[in-house]
Amino acid sequence: MHEEENETEPLELHMVDISGKRMTHRSAIAEGCLRMQAETLAAIRAHRVPKGDPLAVAEVAGVMAAKQTPQWIPLAHPIPLTHVGLHFEFDEPHAALQIRAEATADYATGVEMEALCAVTAAALAIYDMCKGIDKTMVLDRVHLVEKHGGKSGDFFFPEEMRG
């Protein structure tokens, strides 16, 4: 518990009631970066990771995580996803793997958390597959790139915040 100078009543936790919201098409894209040793990135590209293909495992892990988001995020709604896709891009100059996930649904609440969970789980799966050859991997810059649909409309990650 956090101690505050001015004690106040704790906020009550609750799942947002979406029963009055319209069913609309929702989509979200999230991305993250998994930095590693150059040799590790080369091993992934050349299919020389002893455990097998980290990208194949990461793709399945990302889809599974998106589908199980309420298991990760306590107040998240279970959402009937219509699509989850993952894309991996090698960034040799920075010894990194860029991970991008897109989630879509026709539902009454957004799919941002599903896309973010997909990226995170994909990165963790790659870490697990490669930790025997590189324990220095770092997952960073996980963020929402864009989202569409819903009452709050479209969102695009600000260009000036891109790293």
Domain residue ranges in the chain: 25-161
- Give the pLDDT of residue 159: 86
CA 140-146-150 angle, 5° bins: 135
CATH 3.60.15.10 is the classification of domain 25-161: no
- Give the pLDDT of residue 132: 97
Ranking 9-18, 73-82, 117-126 by mean pLDDT, the lowest is 9-18
Burial classification of residue 87, based on how many CB atoms lie within 10 Å of its CB (0-12 exposed, 13-18 middle, 19 or more buried): middle
pLDDT tens column, 103-152: 999 999 999 999 999 999 999 999 999 999 999 999 999 999 999 998 88
Q: pTM above the 0.85 mark?
A: yes
Question: Which positions are catalytic?
Answer: 128
Rounded to whole angstroms, the Cα distance separating 63 from 100 reads: 12
Q: Which residues does 54 contact at the CB level (< 8 Å), separation at least 6?
A: 44, 125, 126, 129, 130
pLDDT of 7 strictly over 80: no
DSSP secondary structure string for all residues of 1-26: ----SS--PPPPP-----TTSPPEEE
